Amino acid sequence: MSTFETKEQTSAGGVVYRRRGASFEVALISVGGERRWQLPKGLVGRGESPVEAALREVEEETGLACEVVTELERVEYWYFSKGAARRVRFHKFVHFYLMRYVSGDVSGHDDEVNEARWVSLEDAEGMLAFKGERKALGEAREMLAAGAGG
């Protein structure tokens, strides 16, 4: 039986929304060669809180400045590193926040991102590549429907 080194990893990001008429749009990003759609997120830096990391990562990856409305349920999963000489198993925790758009333009995203785009709340779930992110989006949709989005 083989054993793997296991490391814990923490990321943070957000479901960024804006109101468009009677409905909402959310910001999604496309990353990787396969142009996978996901929520903006990234690693929490040393000395940085998950909220600080979420705001920083969202701004870097989408070009949007936001404010946190509330915390969403934390996503947890396992994955193995790719391409390293020695495989490492990661136990990943992702803190997602419901975030209100304040300013900026999705064309201002960084080079890690192929494209950042505003998408209708209805279309976003079908675009997201990861189950945990679809769950966070669903929670955000319920909160917005209940009036959390103002």
Q: What is the pLDDT of residues 21-32, one digit of tens each?
A: 889 999 999 998
* Range 86-90 average pLDDT: 87
* Range 119-146 average pLDDT: 95
* Range 43-50 average pLDDT: 97
pLDDT at 83: 64
Q: What is the DSSP letter of 106?
A: G
111 or 39, which is more confident? 39
* Range 135-142 average pLDDT: 96
pLDDT at 150: 65
Which has the minimum average pLDDT: 35-39, 94-98, 133-137, 145-149?
A: 145-149
For the cut 60, the answer to whether the pLDDT of residue 1 exceeds it is no
Half-sphere exposure of 85 (CA within 13 A, CB side): 0
**CA nearest to 124, candidates 25, 1, 18, 8:** 25
Residue pair 88/80 in contact (Cβ under 8 Å)? The answer is yes
The 10s digit of each residue's pLDDT in 95-118 is: 999 999 999 999 999 999 999 999
List phi, psi (to 5°) of 50. Answer: -55, -40
Q: For the chain, which domains are there?
A: 5-145 (3.90.79.10)
Task: Provide the pairing of β-strand 41-43 with 75-80.
Answer: unpaired
pLDDT at 47: 96
pLDDT at 125: 93
36 or 2, which is more confident? 36
